[in-house]
Structure 1
Amino acid sequence: MDELPGWLPGWCLEHLGGEPAEVLFRRESTSVVFGLRLTDGTEVVVKSRPEDGRAESCVTAQARLAERGFPCALPLTPVVGVGSLAVHAEEFRPGGEMLRGESTEIAARYAEVFARLMDELATVTVEPPLPNPRWSRWDHTDPGLWPSLDFLDALDQSRVPAYVTETAVRVRKRLLAADLPCVLGHADFEAHNLGWHGVEVWAVHDWDSLAWQPEAALAGAASGAFMSGGPPLLAPIEGSEVFLAAYQDFRGRAFAVAELEVAWAASLWAAAHNARWEALHGTAPLSLDTLRAQASERLRRANAVL
């Protein structure tokens, strides 16, 4: 309780009707997330992140899906500005196990959830949540290959292997050449962001990570990332292949050749971003190793030439 930010108790009292009595959990990534039990016993989640113009659209879309019965937490407040932060509260939706494994059945189950999610988002109208999340921001307009991120750009870029940079160059060139309409989609569709009760999905989390990109790019990124249950991990090529095929089946629409190429290209962008991160920070080379092993075949399927 002593580590809660000073604004939080008063915010909870004003917007939720009670102050925090107990901290259930605290997590920090691009957002800071508090699980709280209030003085009246209500359990809630409060999320804060730097205000960058994205939060209101993301929370609105999440609310629309939750109201329709999609398995995600229902927002309890709108987005509220607190200094430089965008803050909202949502219901606490605990439980659910992470679904792990490399079988075709598991890949298809993830694809089915993503297809259902995309079906629902297709009927939601919000302002595009731009800029897109940093790990999926291949469509940036900043100078250079990577989106401008001071905390990464200040590090020694010579540590990034040439194959990572070449992969990112080829992927971005192919993605930017696509003439496809943008839609709303989830750009962090990783195993740790889903909870399951057996074979039924119980909760999809991290709605801060909605993006505005072509459907094929969003599905392709999900096909590469869906197995990540901790540190980011690129799925096996066979898993991505099953995911993409199942996704098209569940959506009832086959991708055109160009869309499939875009999907395969997008499956590599986040992996290249994560590999760059590992190289710059000297962490375990998980994405570095899988990118080295898979880039050539994924680039071939993407028709991503230099």
Structure 2
Amino acid sequence: MSLRAHAVDPDELIRWCREHLGSPPVEEMFRSGHLSAVIGLRLADDREVVVKVRPDTPRMAACVEVQRRLFEAGYPCPRPLTGAAPFGGDVATAEVHVPGGAALPSADRAASVFAKAFARLIRLAPGPDEVAALVPVPSWAAWDHAEGGLWPRSEDSDVDLDEVPGAEWIDEAGRRARDRLRAGGSDVVIGHCDWLAGNLRWSDDTLLVVHDWDSVIAECEDILVGFAAALYSTVDADTLATVEDTQRFLVAYGDARGRDLSADEGQRAWAAGLWTRAYDAKFQHAAGQPITSLSEDEARERLRCAAA
């Protein structure tokens, strides 16, 4: 697999900050990122900002608009400082740096507070018709892609997962989950499709900040909830939800929104969570890595919960 590492020209970064933030950087505080370069900077005017550079896609401007609208509604996300502005052949955005916080809330309330924060996000987010189209959808959420075959192409690999032999149980789980998702559906809303612990920070059980707003999509509510319920963590930032954790999240989400998930919504949520976990498992298998996103026994149990 050929990973697309993202290099950032330092002179271009200085020029971009001068033009779009009115001040050049004087210190790099940190640098991280996978599909993009995320750079924490202290500017000459003493502001601390985060500049994110990634390949340009049509959805970037809409992602920033959703983040801006949520910030203005009081949701704990960094305040955007720019729109999506050209950066060489890529695009960059800037936001206020929000430091600190813990990766997880208290263990005994994790499902409740993760679900409550997710329900609040969906409640405060603009309607899908209020912003530009949030497409293309990130690969790990693109269960209904139009590429042909079962699996969409990954953003960070040129490998066609449908051409990778082996791990038939992963393909079967993904296929059956996708078939269940194609039957019915709840209202389309805007939400976050990468509800990993690494993207959230907590102050005790209070949500301090949510990051990675490139991961907002417009999708059926039950599917978004299913992604979140399968991806959040209760014990450490690198361990995904167990079957029991997912069940607790789905119950807590219903409590948070004031209406339990219907039987159909619950089954589709289970199917969505299984699909995204199976996609990651297929990617891990293709890369020759240990399969940590899903086990065969867990896939079987999640399929049972999804009535798939």
- TM-score, normalised with respect to structure 1: 0.91
Matched residue, 2:197: 191
Matched, 1:235 2:248: no
Q: What 5-or-longer segments of structure 1 have no aligned partner?
A: none
Matched residues in 2 for 1:238 and 1:179: separation?
Answer: 24
Matched residues in 1 for 2:188 and 2:75: separation?
Answer: 22
Matched residue, 1:47: 52
Q: Measure how far apart 1:100 and its partner are.
A: 5.9
Map 1:114-125 → 2, pairs under 5 A: 114-122=118-126, 125=130
Measured against aligned partners, the alpha-carbon deviations of 1:102-122 in whole angstroms (never above 9, x if no partner) come to 64x211111111111111115
Matched residue, 1:219: 225
Map 1:250-289 → 2, pairs under 5 A: 250-287=256-293
Matched residues in 1 for 2:107 and 2:149: separation?
Answer: 36
**Residues 161 and 282, structure 2, Cα contact 8 Å, conserved in 1:** no
Matched, 1:302 2:306: yes
Decide whether aligned partners of structure 1 residues 97 and 43 sit closer, same or farther in structure 2, where only a CA change above 3 A counts.
same
Q: Measure how far apart 1:158 and its partner are.
A: 3.8
Q: What 5-or-longer segments of structure 2 have no aligned partner?
A: 1-6
Matched residues in 2 for 1:272 and 1:176: separation?
Answer: 17
**Residues 105 and 204, structure 2, Cα contact 8 Å, conserved in 1:** no
Matched residues in 2 for 1:118 and 1:160: separation?
Answer: 38
**Residues 151 and 162, structure 2, Cα contact 8 Å, conserved in 1:** no
Matched residues in 2 for 1:45 and 1:187: separation?
Answer: 21
Q: Measure how far apart 1:123 and its partner are.
A: 5.0
Decide whether aligned partners of structure 1 residues 61 and 129 sit closer, same or farther in structure 2, where only a CA change above 3 A counts.
same
Matched, 1:141 2:155: no
Matched residue, 2:137: 132
Matched, 1:95 2:100: yes
Task: Give SS of 2:189's match.
Answer: strand
Decide whether aligned partners of structure 1 residues 21 and 177 sit closer, same or farther in structure 2, where only a CA change above 3 A counts.
same
Moved beyond 3 Å, runs of 4+:
2-6, 100-103, 154-160, 228-231
Map 1:1-80 → 2, pairs under 5 A: 4-80=9-85
Matched residue, 2:4: none
Query: Which residue identity does 1:173 align to in structure 2?
Result: D
CA RMSD of aligned residues (A): 2.1
Measured against aligned partners, the alpha-carbon deviations of 1:22-67 in whole angstroms (never above 9, x if no partner) come to 1111112122111001122211001111111111111111011112
**Residues 157 and 280, structure 1, Cα contact 8 Å, conserved in 2:** no
Matched residues in 2 for 1:143 and 1:156: separation?
Answer: 9
**Residues 160 and 276, structure 1, Cα contact 8 Å, conserved in 2:** no
Matched residues in 2 for 1:10 and 1:203: separation?
Answer: 29
Task: Give SS of 2:67's match.
Answer: helix
Count how many residue pairs are aligned between Structure 1 and Structure 2.
Answer: 299
Which stretch has the larger CA shift, 50-59 or 144-153? 144-153
Measured against aligned partners, the alpha-carbon deviations of 1:201-239 in whole angstroms (never above 9, x if no partner) come to 1001111100111000000110000118554x4311111
Which stretch has the larger CA shift, 13-22 or 156-165? 156-165
Q: Measure how far apart 1:82 and its partner are.
A: 2.6
Decide whether aligned partners of structure 1 residues 107 and 244 sit closer, same or farther in structure 2, where only a CA change above 3 A counts.
same
